[in-house]
Amino acid sequence: MCSLRRFSFSMWKRFIHYRAQPEHKFEWIRPTGHKTNILVYNPITRVKTPLILRNHNVITWYMCGPTVYDTSHIGHACTYVRFDIIRRILSEVFNYNVVYVMGMTDIDDKIINKSNECGESCQSITHRYENEFFADMDSLNVLRPLVTCKVTNYISEIVAFIEQIFSKNGAYVGKDGSVYFDTCKYLNYGKLKPPQVEGFDANKKSPLDFALWKISKQNEPFWESPWGRGRPGWHIECSAIASTILGDNIDIHSGGIDLSFPHHENEEAQSCCYHDVDQWVNYWLHTGHLHLEGDTKMSKSLQNTISISSLLNICTANQFRMLCLLSDYKKNVVFSNDLVEKASTILKKIEFFLCDCKAYYSGKYEMWDIDASKLLSCLDETKAQINAAFANDFNTPKVIAEILILISTANKMMKSEKTTTAARSIETVAAVSNYIQSIFAKLGISYLKTSDMNNNISNILDTLVEFRRNVRNKSLMANTKDIELLKLCDDVRTKLTSCGVEIRVKDFILTIVKNPLGY
């Protein structure tokens, strides 16, 4: 009765307050330290705020990693690729030293359930899916964390963390023997997202209270603790690990938008209690969901997932990364054939442009009327716009748009007939090409592997030799019809396409367009 009364009068009053004031805002404490001139969306203030670092040129970043009990799907891929892009922008564009730590959940209800279902040990399951996860991330060109922390390696730190919360009167032992965080003692609960009641649990004082330590059930893995044999709750693991590695104040903490509540909300509450601070994380970053057409979200429970290995049968890693670059990282993405085709088309346009540039400054094209002053001015403006976009909450759609404008400007000059006697402007074309390549390299758009290129080059040479011989022999025949030569050209074009190469003829010069962007 006492527990119910507490919920009825104290907590219900708080819920009414939240709903009556939907614009209620919690205080965000502006960090003291080093300005970066970068704006980041802040879910507490609901506006973009300046990114201020605690230490000069160093960014501490904790990322919620996977629960390794099953194969990762493309929803996970979207989250990790988007954060990889932001990480690369901070390190490669703005030259900050990003200390990137990832937690990995290797003990959890889902892992235990899978172990019971298949008769395989939890350690064997988590080891297999951890290796698979990193193999998937490697295939997507996602940089690995500086440190990966498994929960089972931090049990003593987690127990000590809970003991400290207990000493501050922030936790209690529930009726079931598990340890719960007392949310009523934390006045800022709900700073990331208004809490939602999912039902009353007689073991807890409030439905919002969450487990710090779960008493083990029969035949479950357990560790010893002052409260009996058990295992960590989900939320406490990230707080203890991040605090152990990064301390009592972290620059950035990230995850999918579905982690905002309750996971990140609970992390912030218990960490503030532990460290006796009002703000543990200065900047929370959340990505939107990726879902299929007609679905609200991709998840294993809905059985509407596509594995990452299956994804790479649908599109390349570069196409998927471009797909992510084309959307605001905070927004949801609808995965569709049309979106993959759009990403593919943009990559092709960039690919062909870079190859045209190389053909020009290598001396294969003579007829381009390049206005060097105008093109260099456009390049400078593009650089300024792109730097501003990167600094404005990592606005990658704007970056891609500016790159395409630069390419369009250059293409108009490249496709025009030469009308002046001005000298060829090799350095101007090369400067544009180099800049575009450097931007995409910094964003993680990878090139073909050397072995792949060697195999393609061998096929290209064989096909071109055969083409030359056939054309030469036909040309020596007095009554050869043009249609036969055209058919031979069609045949060789088809063969080269299968090698990932396109043949173009411009101004009677044969050009081989290879795949610098790995399409």
Indicate whether 93 and 238 sit together in one domain.
Answer: yes
Indicate whether 353 and 421 sit together in one domain.
Answer: yes
Per-residue confidence band for 466, with pLDDT thresholds at 50, 70 and 90? low
Report pLDDT digits (tens) over 398-440: 999 999 999 999 988 877 666 555 567 889 999 999 999 999 9
For residue 487, the surrounding DSSP H or E stretch is helix 482-498
Indicate whether 397 and 459 sit together in one domain.
Answer: no
CATH code for the domain of 418: 1.20.120
Indicate whether 39 and 145 sit together in one domain.
Answer: yes
pLDDT of residue 475: 62
Residue 101 near residue 61, CB atoms below 8 Å? yes
Final residue in a domain of this structure, among 385, 412, 442: 442
Full domain range(s) for residue 406: 339-442
**Does residue 104 lie in a domain region?**
yes
Q: Above 50 in pLDDT, residue 6?
A: no
Residue 312 near residue 73, CB atoms below 8 Å? no
Residue 403 near residue 438, CB atoms below 8 Å? no
Please give the Cα distance from 190 to 183 (Å, whole number): 10
Q: Domain count of the chain?
A: 3
Indicate whether 262 and 131 sit together in one domain.
Answer: yes
Report pLDDT digits (tens) over 130-177: 999 999 999 999 999 999 999 999 999 999 999 999 999 999 999 999
Q: Is the dihedral of CA 89, 91, 92, 94 positive or negative?
A: positive
Indicate whether 480 and 426 sit together in one domain.
Answer: no
CATH code for the domain of 119: 3.40.50.620
Least confident among 78-92, 185-199, 330-344, 415-429? 415-429
Crossing angle between the packed helical segments 109-118 and 122-139, to the nearest 10 degrees = 110
Indicate whether 321 and 394 sit together in one domain.
Answer: no
pLDDT of residue 197: 78
Please give the Cα distance from 23 to 182 (Å, whole number): 25
What tokens does 471 get?
């054309």
Crossing angle between the packed helical segments 396-415 and 426-442, to the nearest 10 degrees = 160
In three-state secondary structure terms, 367 is coil
Q: What is the pTM of this model?
A: 0.84
Please give the Cα distance from 165 to 427 (Å, whole number): 63
Final residue in a domain of this structure, among 392, 411, 442: 442
Please give the Cα distance from 154 to 162 (Å, whole number): 12
Indicate whether 319 and 358 sit together in one domain.
Answer: no
Final residue in a domain of this structure, among 387, 411, 442: 442
